Amino acid sequence: MRARAVLLGALSFAVILAAWEIVSRAGLISPFFISRPTLIAAAIGQSARSGDLAQSVGVTLAEFGAGFGAAIVVGLALGVAAGWFSVVEYAIDPFIWFVYSAPLIAFYPLFVLWLGLGPGTVIAISFLLSVTPITVNTLTGIRNVSPTLQVAARSFGARPQDVLWKVVLPASVPMIAAGLRLGIGRALTGVVIAELFVPSGGLGSSIAYNGGLLRTTEMLASLMVIVVLGVLCTQALSAVESHFDSWRTGPGL
């Protein structure tokens, strides 16, 4: 059953690539608009050999790591504080909603003024986009932990910090993980959008640069690398998630 799914998935990609190649070669759609897979593969191969690929992937990953890393630290800290103390939750609530619903990329001219035209701005936008789902999910996860569990722990002599570390946080893992999963997508989105506007040497900048020169093949090559990065990030998170949630024995609770 699993093998069948993998086979069908591979088949689907193969059909898409083959159709793309044929349509482009037959001239049904001009290669100027859609390029073709073989050209894109060649472009990726060439930039891999020249070292450009490693460099732009490195820049994008470094920005992503800094933005998402900061968002994890701040988001978890804020979320735990707000989940534990109602006052904190009420105080940060309006700000969370603003940051969540504002089109943060609109602030990039300001960030350029404050942080310069480069990685600082990209990291700031990526951080702001990804910090909200992490905070809110952590907060909600902690709030929704069954009070019975907490009371039981207290009655067996657990101190408040024991309840937090040994009961509340482990029980909130699924919610926190869902927040991280949303956050990882938004952090990557933030990096790529910001790079479209701010030349930082990353993959998004490369798309915008080649797009400006109408070099479709190079543009699509960078895009393909971004797709692969996105898939790898999501897979990595699933692995981490099942590691931290492995104590859970069954559904329900």
Partner 1 sequence: MRNVAHGFPRRRSVKREGGSPAFAALKGRATIGVSAVALFLAAWEIAPRLGIVDPFFTSLPSRVLLAGVEVLRSGTLAHDVLVSLTEFGSGFALALAVAIPLGLLLGAFPTLRDLIDPPVMALYATPQLALLPIFVLWLGIGMGSKIAVVFLGAAIPVVVNTIAGVRQVDRSLVLAARAFCATRRDVFVRVILPAALPAVMVGIRLGVSRAILGVVVAEMYVSQNGIGNQIMRLGSAFRVDRLLVYVLLVSVFGLAMTTLVRRLEERLA
List contacts with partner 1 (CB under 8 A): 4-5, 8-13, 16, 33, 86-87, 90-95, 97-98, 100-103, 105-110, 113-114, 133, 136-137, 140, 143-144, 175, 178, 181-182, 185, 188-189, 191-193, 196-197, 204, 207-208, 210-212, 214, 216, 219-220, 223, 226-227, 230-231, 233-234, 238
Smallest gap from Cβ 234 to partner 1, in A, equals 4
Q: Report whether 153 contacts 167 (CB < 8 A).
A: yes
Nearer to partner 1, 21 or 162 (CB): 21
Nearer to partner 1, 12 or 46 (CB): 12
d(CA 95, CA 109): 21
Smallest gap from Cβ 74 to partner 1, in A, equals 17
Measuring CA to CA, which residue among 206, 140, 214, 148 is closest to residue 177? 140
Smallest gap from Cβ 61 to partner 1, in A, equals 14
Smallest gap from Cβ 35 to partner 1, in A, equals 10
Nearer to partner 1, 56 or 137 (CB): 137
Nearer to partner 1, 147 or 157 (CB): 147
Nearer to partner 1, 169 or 220 (CB): 220
Token pair belonging to 124? 């700031």
One-letter-per-residue 3-state SS of the chain:
CHHHHHHHHHHHHHHHHHHHHHHHHCCCCCHHHHCCHHHHHHHHHHHHHHCHHHHHHHHHHHHHHHHHHHHHHHHHHHHHHHHHCHHHHHHHHHHHHHHHHCCHHHHHHHHHHHHCCCHHHHHHHHHHHHHHHHHHHHHHHHHCCCHHHHHHHHHCCCCHHHHHHHHHHHHCHHHHHHHHHHHHHHHHHHHHHHHHHCCCCCHHHHHHHHHHCCCHHHHHHHHHHHHHHHHHHHHHHHHHHHHHCCCCCCCCC
Nearer to partner 1, 164 or 226 (CB): 226
Smallest gap from Cβ 157 to partner 1, in A, equals 27
Smallest gap from Cβ 39 to partner 1, in A, equals 15
Nearer to partner 1, 28 or 214 (CB): 214
Smallest gap from Cβ 70 to partner 1, in A, equals 18
